[in-house]
Chain A
Amino acid sequence: GEEVAQTPKHLVRGEGQKAKLYCAPIKGHSYVFWYQQVLKNEFKFLISFQNENVFDETGMPKERFSAKCLPNSPCSLEIQATKLEDSAVYFCASSQPQEWDYNEQFFGPGTRLTVL
């Protein structure tokens, strides 16, 4: 597609439950980035992929968070045993191979995760 698609728009989980978020990058884009936005600001980089390979995972919490980008499937970000502090909007962005060096990232509308 021509836009980054993220599903679901909203996700509510009880503390300790699993949450799984999905991202379909723009067709032809081989780089995918995940960011976490807490409290309307404070964007935090989580992880990036080059096709199905992890490119940079320096922002991923060591525990509970995992992500995948498999061929012919949307990318996913999974949080095991959610905590209250995981409540945030999670944004996915994608980039073309020739543009990634200039960080021409196109952002999706985000998934709002609320942990109760």
Chain B
Amino acid sequence: AQSVTQLGSHVSVSEGALVLLRCNYSSSVPPYLFWYVQYPNQGLQLLLKYTSAATLVKGINGFEAEFKKSETSFHLTKPSAHMSDAAEYFCAVSRSGSSNTGKLIFGQGTTLQVKP
């Protein structure tokens, strides 16, 4: 079975500071990994995805994530936080290959607060 754990349900940073949101996964097969952002009362927007190509993945809005198989991690980072980054962030995993049915397994979410 696959699962995702996001460490820290709430992260607070100052504007301009580094953003680090942690995600660890468990998967018996090579995973696909995703980070989504959810703004209030909206659906999910894909930030970036890892699909077994480069381990360092760059996404939209200056975010990036690094797939580390040895640590089973896929942490999300951004060098300098902006007020508009305040939102809920979800890490998700799915299977790759023939066992993939497309469904996403989500972590519990991390609320990012950006202070002026």
Chain B, Cβ-Cβ closest to A42: B108
With a cutoff of 8 Å between Cβ atoms, the chain B residues found around residue A45 in the complex are 103-105
Q: Is B102's CB within 8 Å of the partner chain A?
A: yes
A4 touches B94 (CB 8 A): no
How many A-B pairs fall under 8 Å by CB?
Answer: 68
Interface: B44 (CB within 8 A): yes
Q: Which residues of A contact B90 (CB under 8 A)?
A: 41, 43
Determine how close the nearest CB of chain A comes to the CB of B100; give it in whole angstroms.
6
**Contact yes or no, B106 A100, CB < 8 A:** no
Residue B43 is within 8 A (CB to CB) of chain A in the complex: yes
Whether a CB of chain A sits under 8 angstroms from the CB of B14 is no
Interface size class on chain B is: 20 to 34
Q: Which residue of B lies closest to A41 (CB)?
A: B109
Is A102 a contact partner of B32 (Cβ separation < 8 A)? yes
B-chain residues with CB within 8 Å of residue A55 when the two chains form the complex: 101-102
Contact assessment for A33 and B102 in the assembled complex, using a CB-CB cutoff below 8 Å: yes
On whether the beta carbons of B103 and A59 are closer than 8 Å, the reply is yes
Contact in complex: B102, A48 (CB < 8 Å): yes
A25 located at the interface, meaning its Cβ lies under 8 Å from any Cβ of chain B in the complex: no
How many Å lie between the Cα of A12 and that of B44 in the bound state? Answer: 23
Which of B45-53, B61-69, B73-81 lies at the binding interface? B45-53
In contact, B43 and A107 (Cβ under 8 angstroms): yes
Min CB distance, B53 to chain A, in Å?
A: 10
Asked if A109 and B32 make an inter-chain contact with CB atoms under 8 angstroms apart, the answer reads no
Q: Any chain B CB within 8 A of the CB of A40?
A: yes
How far is A40 from B9 in the complex, measured between Cα atoms in Å?
Answer: 12
Contacts of A110 in B (CB 8 A): 42-43
Query: B25 near A: Cβ within 8 Å?
Result: no
Task: Tell me, in angstroms, the Cα distance from A95 to B46 when the chains sit together.
Answer: 12
A22 within 8 A of B: no
Residues of chain B at the chain A interface (Cβ within 8 Å): 9, 32, 34, 36, 41-46, 49, 51, 88, 90, 92, 94, 96, 100-106, 108-109
5 tightest Cβ-Cβ pairs between the two chains A and B: A107-B43, A43-B106, A56-B101, A41-B109, A45-B103
Partner-B contacts on A (CB < 8 A): 4, 31, 33, 35, 40-43, 45, 48, 55-56, 58-59, 91, 93, 95, 100-110
